[in-house]
């Protein structure tokens, strides 16, 4: 998986000063326009920027540069990082864009109404709000309480469906209630659950329209036994 080039202009400055690469090759590698790279070479662009060696920071190799210098049509490829750095976990409430902040009370009202098992800390993580705002919405003391409308925070873009499902599952686990009974209408079935349900449906006995006919078939008399009984009755009457 390719990574993003660090300090593109500073890298372009170093490549211009220390390699024989064409402006097009440097521009393609650094994500710049060829004229911008030419301006760097002429001193009109990136004045005062110190060049950064991409070989030292592990984003390019000397062999890759030499290969590109020998073939002007070749495009440099960024090196894979040798060390994978784990993404930093988000701490504290979620950041909410300014354009969406006015929608948070509506999302809180939706969560309080549809998922009362959620704790305040979980709602704070989902929509990036404060406990005082949650209490105000729940108690109906919010300054705009009369105009609040419950709205799904996923639809509003305040959180993702995966994060909402995860918090709901945590809340259900903490309350000791089974997920199927508590959130049957709001949770999506997993692939395994859907497959199991389909298998149960296919294996279930179907209503047979000919069931009465089967009963009749079982109740049909054996013809040979009937005729034998009639003959015995006739012989008895002749003897009399």
Boundaries of every domain in the chain: 8-70, 98-191
Q: Answer yes or no: are the C-beta atoms of 162 and 172 closer than 8 Å.
A: no
* Radius of gyration over every alpha carbon of the chain, rounded to an integer in angstroms: 38
CA distance 6 to 26: 14
Per residue in 92-126, pLDDT (tens digit) is 555 556 656 688 899 999 999 999 999 999 999 88
**Which residue from 74, 80, 75, 86 is spatially nearest to 29, judged by alpha carbons?**
75
User: What are 157's two structure tokens?
Assistant: 């873009």
Give phi and psi for 221, each to the nearest 5. -85, 155
- Decide: helix, strand or coil at residue 8: helix
CA distance 156 to 154: 5
Residue with token string 């809180």: 108
Task: Tell me the pLDDT of the chain averaged across its residues.
Answer: 76
Helix pair angle (120-127, 161-175), 10° resolution: 170
Per residue in 69-83, pLDDT (tens digit) is 999 999 999 887 665
Mean pLDDT of 5-14: 89
The kind and range of the H/E element at 237 are helix 223-239
* Predicted TM-score (pTM) of this structure: 0.38
């Amino acid at each position: 998986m390719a990574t993003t080039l660090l300090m593109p202009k500073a890298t372009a400055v170093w490549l211009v000063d220390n390699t024989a690469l064409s402006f097009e090759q440097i521009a393609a590698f650094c994500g710049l326009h060829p004229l911008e790279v030419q301006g760097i070479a002429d001193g009109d662009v990136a004045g005062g920027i110190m060049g950064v060696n991409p070989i030292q920071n592990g984003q390019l190799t000397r062999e890759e540069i030499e290969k590109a210098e020998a073939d002007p049509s070749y495009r440099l490829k960024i090196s894979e990082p040798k060390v994978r750095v784990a993404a930093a976990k988000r701490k504290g409430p979620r950041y909410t864009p300014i354009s969406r902040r006015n929608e948070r009370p509506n999302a809180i009202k939706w969560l309080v109404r549809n998922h009362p098992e959620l704790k305040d800390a979980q709602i704070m993580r989902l929509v990036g709000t404060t406990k005082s705002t949650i209490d105000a919405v729940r108690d109906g003391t919010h300054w705009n309480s009369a105009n609040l409308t419950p709205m799904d925070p996923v639809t509003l873009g305040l959180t993702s469906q995966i994060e909402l499902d995860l918090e709901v599952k945590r809340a259900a686990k903490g309350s000791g209630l089974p997920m199927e009974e508590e959130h049957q209408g709001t949770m999506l079935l997993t692939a395994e659950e859907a497959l199991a349900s389909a298998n149960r449906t296919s294996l279930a006995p179907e209503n047979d329209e000919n069931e009465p006919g089967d009963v009749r078939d079982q109740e049909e008399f054996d013809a040979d036994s009937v005729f034998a009984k009639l003959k015995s009755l006739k012989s008895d009457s002749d003897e009399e």
